[in-house]
């Protein structure tokens, strides 16, 4: 995934993680039974079996139709345990990684979350099932516009999209209770740290080739950092390349 969405600003709708916002897969008319069965198997065999325990996150993964967020020719692979190309040299993340990153922010009703790297919009949709408001930024206009349109079509009224460089975050709407980054910078952008609330968490892949997925928590005294997993994301582009 990578950075986002332009000028399409969607209204805020309060949601709860366990209940979802009513806009995901469960409410899509004409839901394909085969895709739904594949999605249930994905959650039980790839995600729950690998240690994801947050029931709200698991329910979000059951609800969001990943097949809608991949190119039509790849929909038969939508629930495989793998990232998939979405064009423009970008990918939709492996389902387990989406679930892991969501669980790591400890999502709760009432939270305001920033995502850097909208990509296809899948991570934003999963987050939107779990928190009140998602702000998401995409650096590639074609991806940002497509994701914004799809999220609107699926009814995710609690997602606000923007096209731009996510390195500096979205200061107009800061602070955020959590920030999820789906592209890897060589080092953690300082503006993102500064836009966290006290107690807020930043989940970000860091590194140039294989990367550490890092969780940074803002405290009263500074920041606490811990590694969560080894991952492989596309590099963060734009200003992040100038900071290498």
Q: Where are the domains of the chain?
A: 25-242
* Residue 96 to residue 154: CA distance in whole angstroms: 22
Question: Which residues have CB under 8 Å from 190's CB, separation 6+?
Answer: none
Does domain 25-242 fall under CATH 3.50.50.60? My reply is no
User: How much is the pTM?
Assistant: 0.87
Sequence-distant (6+) residues with CB within 8 A of 231 are 97, 184, 205, 210, 211, 212, 213
Q: Which pLDDT tens digits describe the chain residue by residue (244 residues)?
A: 433 332 332 333 333 343 344 444 444 444 479 999 999 999 999 999 999 999 999 999 999 999 999 999 999 999 999 999 999 999 999 999 999 999 999 999 999 999 999 999 999 999 999 999 999 999 999 999 999 999 999 999 999 999 999 999 999 999 999 999 999 999 999 999 999 999 999 999 999 877 999 999 999 999 999 999 999 999 999 999 987 6
Residues labelled catalytic: 93
């Amino acid at each position: 995934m990578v950075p986002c969405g332009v000028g399409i600003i969607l209204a805020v709708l309060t949601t709860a993680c366990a209940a979802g916002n009513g806009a995901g897969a469960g409410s899509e008319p004409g839901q394909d039974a085969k895709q739904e069965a594949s999605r249930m198997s994905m959650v039980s065999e790839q995600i729950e079996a690998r240690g994801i325990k947050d029931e709200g996150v698991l329910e979000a993964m059951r609800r969001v139709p990943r097949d809608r967020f991949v190119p039509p020719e790849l929909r038969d692979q939508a629930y495989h345990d793998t990232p998939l190309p979405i064009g423009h040299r970008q990918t939709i993340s492996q389902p387990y990684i989406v679930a892991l990153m969501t669980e790591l922010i400890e999502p709760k009703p009432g939270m305001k979350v920033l995502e850097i790297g909208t990509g296809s919009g899948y991570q934003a949709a999963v987050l939107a099932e779990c928190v009140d408001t998602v702000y998401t930024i995409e650096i590639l206009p074609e991806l940002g516009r497509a994701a914004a349109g799809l999220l609107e079509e699926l009814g995710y009224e609690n997602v606000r999209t923007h096209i731009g460089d996510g390195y500096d975050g979205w200061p107009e709407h800061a602070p955020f209770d959590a920030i999820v980054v789906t592209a890897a910078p060589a080092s953690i952008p300082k503006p993102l740290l500064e836009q966290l609330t006290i107690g807020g968490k930043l989940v970000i892949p860091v590194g140039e080739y294989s990367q550490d997925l890092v969780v940074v928590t803002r405290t009263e005294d500074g920041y606490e950092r811990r590694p969560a997993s080894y991952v492989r994301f596309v590099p963060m582009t734009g200003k992040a390349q100038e900071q290498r």
